Amino acid sequence: MPREGTADFEITMENIRYSAPQRYYGTRILLVIKGTATVAVSGKNYVLEESDILFVNRNDNYTITGNESNIVICLSISSHFFVTHYAKYFHYYFECYTKELDPGRESVVAQLRRLLSEFVIANSRGEEGSFLEVQSALYQVMLLMTRFFKKTVPNFKGGETSDERIARIIQIIELRYAEPLTLAEMAESEYLSPSYLSRYFKQSTGMGFLEYLKMVRLKHSVEDLLYTSDNLFQIAVKNGFSTAKNFSLAFKSEYEQTPAQYRKEHQNEKLEKQEARTVKMETKQVLDSPEALIRLAQYLEESAKQGLLPDEVPIEEREIIVGKCEVAESLEREKHILFVGELKELLKENVKEQVILSKQKLRVDFVGVRHLIGGSTLLPEVDTDELVPTSPKYANSDLALQFLKNQGISLFFRIEYKEVIHNEEHFFIELDRFLVHALQIFGRAFVDQWQILYYAAKETTVLSTELERIYLRIHEVTRKRSVQLRMGTFFPFREDRENISVHHQWQFNQADKIDFIAYDADQNEIVDFSNISDEDFLNSRDYILNKTQKLKHFLKKHQLKKPLYLDSWNTLTGNTRYTNGTFFRGALILKTILDLSTEVEGLGFWVNNEIHEQISGSRDILVDGLELFHFFNGKRPAFFTLMFKERMTGKVIAQGGDYVMTGNEDGYQLMLFNEKHFNPRYSVDELFMRNRSKELHVRLLGMEPGEYQVRKYQFDKENGGLYSKWGQLNSKYGVDFEVMDYIVQSSSPTLEIKDEQIGEDWTFYVSLASNAIQLIEYRRAIV
């Protein structure tokens, strides 16, 4: 083990069979890379096996015993060095014993192993730039310690404390060690008595003020001995000693040899810069071991697989009591409508694939279509002398409807007022013929499940009586063929005025002929994206839920209480393709769906960008709907968000502002999310985004103890966010199918699987970037 000295930091890698009881004034990190070692710290034994890490804190008494073949890395960081770079060092101690760490710290521990390995390798090479590598690894280790492993010293009260005064004094000593500093002078500068400062300095640092000052002076004198030709008197005066004799006595008491002997012993050695800083590597024979080198290389690879570290954010404690939910019911299962434009789009293979996948993963209840009668799905009549026409009018629609029937999906088709009056009589003849044909070919059980939505534009000038007349005629034709087929109307509700225009008020008169109400809600409509002020964004936070609840109240007031279908909606997004891509919205979408699932009967989604833009006739960024797929079958955030919600089965046993937990016959499911509402423009600011990350220390109380397989899905901008990979691999010269396929295949949430023995009190860490979602499944082991 390294000997207590004046070194700022030191790293060794050696076989330790036994080390006598010792105390180090600083922090030590022990990593066993081979064999075993037992560390006894203040009466508690820690058994370290391969890859285990243990922190030993300042002034802890400890001993080490190990087997004959072990290899132990020990990094020592002195208190005076640590506090110089981290002023609150004395406020904390550091706690890490890998066998007892809560789950969720795997990536941090992997990075710590990697840094220690890099430290050892760089420190041993002695090449140009090695010292910079050593320094870099050291500061990163210290950063990890202060971010993830610090614990407040018991009874620490915070505020402007003497610990902070000690930190300032230590910094002054480092800057003015060559001057005749005195305890009285330091006490006066801090408005303290010398006796009080003396007691507290020793209590805080473990040594007296003069002893500490001597240690700093000796540390700097070593550099002068090795790298200058100054005589002992010059070195003594330069480093704050009054005489060469005093310098020699102090030096010998610390280094067990005189300054002259030390200089002679080292003058012929080719020391690198880091040795000038008293970083010594005394275990070359261990480093030359192939086993050690292989193990160090494995640690470098292991950390690369773990990915990025969590951002530096305050840890929030979250206690979840299993089974204590006010309403122990299943999550609401709202119906899902997948809009595909015209019915003929279902003849495209990629659209079929997307619909099938959506049905499997997201539970699609309806496929929504437009222009069924007036569009191009139904083929025109052909004059022919054939007894049986070979170009039947319903060829395309039959293939599409058969596909839907095979998939167990119903039809939701929109009839627009403008579509009807283009040629009213022809429209109703064709509508009746289509219904008759569908009933004849596909059967009443299938057709009776359809829903028809009558739509008139919000800002219409058509009289209310005219809109009502057309609806009644559609209702009459439809009911003649199917009394079960449901009909609904679009309700253009203005939440700011809590009313609708006079042109749409005919709906109040036809409540008995309306089966459901459809409406839209888009946060982007009430936000000025060009405005730097955040007020609009804050006001829009619960816009969709608030509008829905106001609409329900309004309908009840007018005796038009009907099931609601939110067929066109969107959460906050950007107003350019770039911002829309960088602004990850997973948790925003999830929170909206969870809020709406108890308020509405159905939610609408577009199948993909291509069809959505085709129907709208625009290549501008679209915000009037949520697409499940991007171009080339890439999955958009709404797909994975809805997929996670649909995976949650069983009864809700716990629920809070950022989590929902269910219990089922296989075990438990816990979904955590970090909903953040802000101006999408800021999503390009890396620091801004880091500050909106969240780290939770979750405590689950009341789970059934036992062995579980734990599956963890992580969904955020980097893991499942399509734009991240797209941006990394795009090129101004274009990309081919191979690149596109790679982007799509690699843009999925990550999955980790572990076997855990879980008790009634189970704790773990979770790191969530802005609007990230994490789904954890606890599958009970069958033994």
Domains in the chain, please, with CATH? Answer: 1-156+284-309 (2.60.120.280), 310-329+650-783 (2.60.40.1500), 335-647 (3.20.20.80)
Structure confidence at residue 389 (pLDDT): 59
pLDDT classification of 155: cutoffs 50, 70, 90: low
Torsion of CA 215, 219, 221, 227, to 10 degrees: 170
Q: Average of pLDDT values for 468-494?
A: 97
pLDDT classification of 291: cutoffs 50, 70, 90: confident
Residue 429 has pLDDT above 60, yes or no: yes
C-alpha–C-alpha distance, residues 750 and 64, integer Å: 40
Residue 41 phi/psi, 5-degree rounding, is: -120, 115
Residue 632 has pLDDT above 90, yes or no: no
Residue type, 435: L
Helix (H, G, I), strand (E, B) or coil at 233: helix
pLDDT digits (tens, 9 = 90+) for 59-106: 788 899 998 889 999 999 988 888 888 888 888 899 999 999 999 888
Structure confidence at residue 4 (pLDDT): 47
How open is the CA angle 190-193-194, to the nearest 5 degrees? 95
Query: For tokens 């789970």, what's the residue?
Result: 703
Paired strand residues for 756: 708
Structure tokens at 449: 């499940």
For 239-277, b where at least 16 C-beta lie within 10 A, e where not — what string? Answer: bbbeebeebbebbeebeeeebeebbeeeeeeeebbbbeb
> Which has more pLDDT, 711 or 681?
711
Residue 278 has pLDDT above 50, yes or no: no
pLDDT digits (tens, 9 = 90+) for 341-394: 999 999 999 999 999 999 999 999 999 999 999 899 998 876 655 565 556 899
Q: How many CA atoms lie within 13 A of 521 on its CB side?
A: 26
Structure confidence at residue 212 (pLDDT): 87
Paired strand residues for 29: 55, 75
Structure confidence at residue 296 (pLDDT): 87
Structure confidence at residue 145 (pLDDT): 94
How open is the CA angle 307-750-360, to the nearest 5 degrees? 170
Structure confidence at residue 159 (pLDDT): 37
Structure confidence at residue 580 (pLDDT): 64
CB neighbourhood size of 335 (10 A): 18
Q: Average of pLDDT values for 476-486?
A: 96
597: left (phi over 0), alpha (psi -120 to 50) or beta: alpha
> Which has more pLDDT, 706 or 386?
706
Portion of the chain with pLDDT greater than 90, in percent: 55
CB neighbourhood size of 740 (10 A): 16
The DSSP-derived string for 682-709 is GGG-HHHHHTT-EEEEEEEESPPPEEEE
pLDDT classification of 164: cutoffs 50, 70, 90: low
| From 272-281, 427-436, 688-697, the region with the lowest mean pLDDT | 272-281
Residue 156 has pLDDT above 60, yes or no: no
Structure confidence at residue 304 (pLDDT): 59
Structure confidence at residue 592 (pLDDT): 96
C-alpha–C-alpha distance, residues 227 and 327, integer Å: 75
